[in-house]
Amino acid sequence: MILITWYRIVVKKVAQYMADVLEDSRDKVQENLLANGVDLITYITRFQWDMAKYPIKQSLKNISEIISKQVTQIDNDLKARASAYNNLKGNLQNLERKNAGSLLTRSLADIVKKEDFVLDSEYLITLLVVVPKTNYADWQKTYETLAEMVVPRSTNLLFEDQDSGLFSVTLFRKAIDDFRHKAREQKFIVRDFQYNEEEMKADKEEMTRLSTDKKKQFGPLVRWLKVNFSEAFIAWIHIKALRVFVESVLRYGLPVNFQAMLLQPNKKNMKKLREVLYDLYKHLDSSAAAIIDSAVDIPGLNLSQQEYYPYVYYKIDCNLLDFK
């Protein structure tokens, strides 16, 4: 039971990761979750054992090992590919966050220009100050007097977002600490920023590189996920079929004389279907009949926490995504 659950977990992991990779196109996930080129219900209802992949002349143990190795490989490959893509995606998102958000935290590299600053001066420096929009008038009235040695009429509004504006102001270097302190008292926040053209260029190039790499990896990754979802799902259904066969032989013995079938009742008809199946097959397994009739534990069977019927029954849950 644990092994069967593991197969479904791997199938679900591939499906869920495809949803994660498609991001804003999650509505297209379901159309990519196919098995042998058809939707999952169609594949199950038309299921035929794949003789080429899983030769029936081999022992049940060998067939099980072939399937297990195949799904293990898919699981390992998924972990490696997901790790590489997630690292790339995470690094890109970190850079994008730096270029978004409020003026208090975002990168200023794409906002400011070289001509906004006094550069290479021994005595003067240009600071960048975030001022709430409601305090613009106070800033214009007071910035020259927040500290000594502020250059008169040196402020300029460089950029605005929804809440604040970014102003430049030029002063003597030795007045920085005093200006910063007085500005904070007036709710003007001085940003820690030094204009460095090379660093800003490197950041932009890194974002371009990461964005390009993500686009290059996206297509091949989606194709890999589609192919290996199909492979993992097919393997899972073959394991289900294998389990039905083994359980039927264990229950009813040899020679093999049973028929496997797929039933998909409406939820409201589930109870009625159980009753009909029970009446048809209760003669096959008296212990199952006793459990259902008396709802008590049979010593040695340990079935009180499981679904157990006089016929072999396994559920196939094709709901593989956590979102609707």
- In 140-227, beta strands by DSSP E: 156-160, 164-172, 189-191
d(CA 85, CA 88): 5
Residues in the chain: 324
Helix, strand, coil % in the chain, rounded to nearest 5: 60, 10, 30
Burial of 134 (0-12, 13-18, 19+ CB in 10 A): exposed
d(CA 251, CA 258): 11
Q: Enumerate the β-bridge partners of residue 185.
A: none
Q: 33, 261 in Cβ contact below 8 A? A: no
Q: 159, 166 in Cβ contact below 8 A? A: yes
Residue found by looking up tokens 């495809």 in the block: 18
The half-sphere exposure of 11 on its side-chain side, counting CA atoms within 13 A, is 27
Buried b (16+ CB within 10 A) or exposed e, 248-257: bbeeeeeeee
Torsions phi, psi for 52 (to 5 deg): -70, -45
- pLDDT at position 291 is 53
Pairing of strands 156-160, 124-132: unpaired
DSSP helix/strand/coil, 102: coil
- pLDDT at position 306 is 57
d(CA 15, CA 233): 10
Q: 189, 130 in Cβ contact below 8 A? A: yes
Torsions phi, psi for 224 (to 5 deg): -60, -45
Q: 14, 225 in Cβ contact below 8 A? A: yes
- pLDDT at position 67 is 95
**Can you list the domains of the chain with their CATH numbers?**
1-95+213-260 (1.20.1460.10), 114-194 (3.30.70.100)
* Tokens standing for residue 301: 């069977």
DSSP helix/strand/coil, 191: strand
Residues with Cβ within 8 Å of 248's Cβ and at least 6 positions away in sequence, in order, are 256, 258, 260, 312
- pLDDT at position 107 is 87
- pLDDT at position 289 is 57
In Å, how far from its chain's centre is CA 130? 36
Question: How many beta carbons lie within 10 A of that of residue 108, not counting itself?
Answer: 19
pLDDT tens for the chain, 324 residues: list them.
Answer: 446 689 999 999 999 999 999 988 888 899 999 999 999 999 999 999 999 999 999 999 999 999 999 999 999 999 999 999 999 999 999 888 888 888 998 889 889 999 999 998 999 999 999 999 999 999 999 999 999 999 999 999 999 999 999 999 999 999 999 999 999 999 999 999 989 888 888 888 999 999 999 999 999 999 999 999 999 999 999 999 999 999 999 988 888 888 888 888 888 998 999 999 999 988 888 776 555 544 444 444 444 445 788 889 888 888 887 644
